[in-house]
Structure 1
Amino acid sequence: MTTIDTGRTLVADGALRARAEAVVPGGVYGHLRVTADRGMPPSYPQFFARGSGARLWDVDGNEYVDLMCAFGPMVAGYANPVVDAAARAQLALGDALTGPGEKYVEYAERLVGTVAHADWAMFAKNGTDATSMSVVIARAATGRTKLLKAEKAYHGANPWFTPSTAGVVGSDRADIVEFDYDDLASLERAAASVEGDVAAIVVTPFRHDGFVDQHFPSAEFARGVRALADRTGAALILDEVRTTFRVDLAGAWERFGVRPDLTAMSKALANGHALSAVVGVDSLREAAASIFVTGSFWMAGVPFAAAIATLDWMVQTDGLTRMLDAGQVLRDGLQAQASAHGLGVVQTGPTSMPFLRFEDEPRLETAIAFTDAAARRGVLVHPWHNMFVSAAHTPEDIATVLERTDEAFAEVARSR
Structure 2
Amino acid sequence: MYGHQSTGLLPDDYPQFFSRGQGARLWDVDGNELLDFMCAYGPNLFGYGDAQIDRAYIDQLAIGDTLTGPTGLIVELAEQFTAMVRHADWAIFCKNGTDATSMALVTARAHTKKKTVILAKGAYHGAAPWCTPRPTGTTAEDKAHQVFCAYNDIASLDAAAAAAGDDLAAIFAAPMKHDAFVDQALPDPAYARRAREICDRTGALLVVDDVRGGLRLARDCSWSLVGVEPDLSTWGKCIANGHPLSALLGSDKARAAAASIYVTGSYWFQAAPMAAALVTLKRVRETDYLERIQGVGQRLRDGLAERATAAGFGLRQTGPVTMPLFLFDEDPDLRKGFFWSSEMLKRRVYVHPWHNMFMCAAMTLADIDQALEAAEASFAALKTQAGSLGPVDKLAFLAA
Q: What SS does structure 2 have at the residue aligned with 1:177? A: strand
CA distance in 1: counterparts of 2:40 and 2:376, whole angstroms:
24
Q: What SS does structure 2 have at the residue aligned with 1:399? A: helix
Match in the other structure for 2:395: none
Match in the other structure for 1:30: 3
Match in the other structure for 1:309: 279
CA distance in 2: counterparts of 1:281 and 1:233, whole angstroms:
14
User: Which residue, out of 32, 49, 61, partners 1:62?
Assistant: 32
User: Which residue, out of 253, 260, 275, partners 2:230?
Assistant: 260
CA distance in 1: counterparts of 2:71 and 2:378, whole angstroms:
49
Match in the other structure for 1:207: 177
Q: What SS does structure 1 have at the residue aligned with 2:230? A: coil
Q: What SS does structure 1 have at the residue aligned with 2:186? A: coil
Match in the other structure for 1:103: 73
CA distance in 2: counterparts of 1:406 and 1:54, whole angstroms:
21
Shift of 1:317: 2.8
Q: What SS does structure 1 have at the residue aligned with 2:222? A: coil
CA distance in 2: counterparts of 1:321 and 1:98, whole angstroms:
41
Q: CA deviation digits over 1:301-350, x for unaligned, max 9?
A: 01101111111223333111111111000111111111111111110011
Match in the other structure for 2:391: none
Match in the other structure for 1:349: 319
CA distance in 2: counterparts of 1:270 and 1:34, whole angstroms:
26
Q: What SS does structure 1 have at the residue aligned with 2:239? A: helix
CA contact (8 A) 2:121 2:149 kept: yes
Match in the other structure for 2:193: 223
The letter of the residue matching 2:194 is: G
CA contact (8 A) 1:82 1:313 kept: no
Match in the other structure for 1:84: 54
Shift of 1:82: 1.0
User: After the TM superposition, which parts of structure 1 deviate over 4 Å for at least 4 consecutive aligned residues?
Assistant: none
Q: How does 1:11-410 map to 2 (within 5 A)?
A: 28-35=1-8, 38=9, 40-410=10-380
CA distance in 1: counterparts of 2:185 and 2:129, whole angstroms:
26
CA contact (8 A) 1:76 1:314 kept: no
Q: CA deviation digits over 1:206-251, x for unaligned, max 9?
A: 0011111101121110111101110011000000110010000111
Q: What SS does structure 1 have at the residue aligned with 2:238? A: helix
CA distance in 1: counterparts of 2:86 and 2:307, whole angstroms:
39
Q: What SS does structure 2 have at the residue aligned with 1:194? A: helix
TM-score, length of structure 1 as denominator length: 0.92
Q: What is the aligned-residue identity percentage? A: 49
CA distance in 2: counterparts of 1:350 and 1:168, whole angstroms:
34
CA contact (8 A) 2:219 2:284 kept: no
Q: What SS does structure 2 have at the residue aligned with 1:267? A: coil
The letter of the residue matching 1:126 is: N
TM-score, length of structure 2 as denominator length: 0.95
The letter of the residue matching 2:131 is: F
Q: CA deviation digits over 1:265-300, x for unaligned, max 9?
A: 101111111111000100110100000000010010
Shift of 1:42: 2.0
CA contact (8 A) 1:149 1:177 kept: yes
The letter of the residue matching 2:178 is: H
Q: What SS does structure 2 have at the residue aligned with 1:253? A: helix
- For structure 2, the residue ranges without an aligned partner over 5 or more in a row are 387-400
Match in the other structure for 1:24: none
RMSD (Å), alpha carbons: 0.8
